[in-house]
Amino acid sequence: MSNKKNKTKKKNSSFELLGIVDKIGVNALQLNTKSESGYNYSRINVGVNCGEKHGTVYLDGMDGYSVNKETGDPIRTIYCHGKTNDGKDDFTERLEIDWADRKDEDILKDVGNMNFITVALEKETSDELIYNKFLCLYDAITYVKENLKEKMIIKVRGKITYNPYDKQANEKFEPTSIILQEKNKNNEPITKNDFYARFTQTVLLNKNSKGDYDDEKGAFNINGYVVEYIGKYKNVEYKNYFVMPKEFEYKISKDNDFRYLKLANKLFEVDEDITATTFEGEIITEGETIQATYEDLPDDIKEYVDDGILDLEEVLDSYATNGSTKRRMVIVKPTTRMIKNDDGTTRMVILSDKKAYKEEDLVDFFSIIQNENETEEQEKSIEKTVEKATNPEEDAEYLDMLKELGLDA
């Protein structure tokens, strides 16, 4: 496989949860585990119960470093970005920080805020939360291990990453912020009615994406694509961004006004080319849980098991709590943003590009791995996804419909 860099870059792919910490199993927070291959890692696999509607969503992440076999010293360079003089994140300034310097305050003062993982699970005597920032998930997991308790109510934000699994993109929720919560937005004690699990995701759509209406679920099946970086898969290095198919749902009621169907057509019907639209939605986890098997594991975890980095028995024990659950990614509405017009006024637009790609530009990762002798043409890059405003008149028509239906909040 060619190591030529793909031009496609991952866009919006994030989540936010509010829920109560489930039982913390013996392997839910593993610290400084040493593998025979010389890799030291910590891992989080903690369930957050987000209420009856959303079920339990698992925070899943692993981070660590390699070790010099001769000296025993850690080996890792942390890649991040800097910040401007006024404190804003500067993505054009690339920084490389040695593992030994990851806690050096003189170095960290120049690092952009979005690089850090924020955790607040303790309070001062003044009842104010103590906020801790970590450059690496490895150190954040250590703090979480010491301070996270069962039955705590927490708000979690993070990034969604995708692994290839059974010809679909399988999502994983890696935390970047874990904050203790006691009051809701009305400054009242939080109850289960306040719990939620939400996502924001840029989805690629083609003319076949809008599927049939499922009467049982009360939703259209949406066959979209997501973009993800694939570093290594089944011991083959790719180090590129690829698209992978991902199933979503768009929940609407047939019993309501015909405008709901018109909304579905406007959002998901594509005449030609590839549309890239950013959506907001709900994460719904349902189904009975049973003991996981090796085949249930994501491919990246399988590789760690195969390489001796992770112990299979311990991994299966961790995944037993969510081994057979069915997760649904239910789209609620497109993401909107206010932009300035040439005359200085502002207007709201939908984050959608109706001509993001040509159909032939999309390189499905699973089509790559089906043929070990793929050509350079099959490996060509997809152009970088750029969020553009749709036609202003179309946006205005859509937003008016949302307002009439009470869905513009």
User: Pick from 88, 112, 136: which residue ends a domain?
Assistant: 112
User: Would you state the pLDDT for residue 9?
Assistant: 62
Tell me, yes or no, whether 225 and 271 share the same domain: yes
Residue 177 sits in the same domain as residue 81: no
Specify the pairing of strand 352-357 against strand 274-286: antiparallel
Last residue of a domain, one of 53, 86, 112: 112
Range 231-242 burial, b when 16+ CB lie within 10 A, else e: eebeeeebebbb
Q: Same domain for 37 and 102?
A: no
Q: Under a CB-based contact definition with an 8 Å cutoff, are residues 40 and 34 in contact?
A: yes
Task: Tell me, yes or no, whether 277 lies in a domain.
Answer: yes
pLDDT at 403: 62
Of the pLDDT bands very low, low, confident and very high (cuts 50, 70, 90), residue 343 is confident
Locate all alpha helices (DSSP H) within 68-211, ordered by sequence.
105-108, 137-147
In this structure, the answer to whether residues 101 and 176 fall within a common structural domain is: no
pLDDT of residue 323: 46
* Residue 97 sits in the same domain as residue 197: no
Beta strands in 192-345 (DSSP E): 196-205, 210-214, 219-233, 236-251, 274-286, 326-334, 336-340
Asked whether residue 82 carries a pLDDT value surpassing 70, the answer given is: yes
Indicate whether 216 belongs to any domain: yes
Structurally, how many domains does the chain consist of?
A: 2
Domain shared by 138 and 244, yes or no: yes
The backbone torsions φ and ψ at residue 100, rounded to the nearest 5 degrees and listed phi first, read -70, -15
User: Given this model, what pLDDT does residue 38 score?
Assistant: 80
Give 36: exposed, middle or buried? Use CB within 10 Å, 0-12, 13-18, 19+: exposed
Note down the domain range covering 254.
13-75+116-404
Clarify whether residues 302 and 343 are in a common domain.
Answer: yes
What's the alpha-carbon Rg for the chain, to the nearest Å?
22
Contact 219, 205 (CB under 8 A): no
User: pLDDT of 198-226, one tens digit each?
Assistant: 999 999 999 999 999 898 888 999 999 99
Is the same domain home to 331 and 352?
Answer: yes
Same domain, 100 and 65: no
Would you say residue 339 lies in a domain? yes
The pair phi, psi for residue 299, each rounded to 5°, is -65, -35
> Band of the pLDDT at 342, cuts 50, 70, 90?
confident
Q: Is residue 7 part of a domain?
A: no
Provide the pLDDT confidence category of residue 320 given band limits of 50, 70 and 90: low
CA distances from 208 to 204, 221, 225 (A): 11, 11, 11
Span 139-155, mean pLDDT? 97
Residue 381 lies in a domain: yes
| Angle between helix 259-268 and 392-404 (nearest 10) | 150
pLDDT at residue number 291: 55
Confidence of residue 233 (pLDDT cuts 50, 70, 90): confident
Whether residue 256 is found in the same domain as residue 301: yes
The answer to whether position 4 is within a domain reads no
Strand, coil or helix: 114: helix
Within a domain: 209: yes
End residue of a domain, out of 91, 112, 133: 112
Question: Mean pLDDT of all residues in the chain?
Answer: 85
Q: Is the pLDDT of residue 336 over 70?
A: yes
pLDDT at 395: 61
**1, pLDDT greater than 80:** no
Beta-strand relationship, 129-134 and 326-334:
unpaired
User: How much is the pLDDT for 407?
Assistant: 58
In-domain check, residue 300 = yes
If asked whether residues 321 and 340 sit together in one domain, one would say yes
| 344 and 397 in a common domain | yes
Short-list 382, 360, 376, CA closest to 2? 376
| Chain segment 350-407, per-residue pLDDT in tens | 899 988 888 877 778 887 776 543 444 444 443 343 344 445 565 666 566 666 655 5
CA distances from 303 to 59, 228, 247, 308, 318 (A): 20, 18, 25, 8, 16
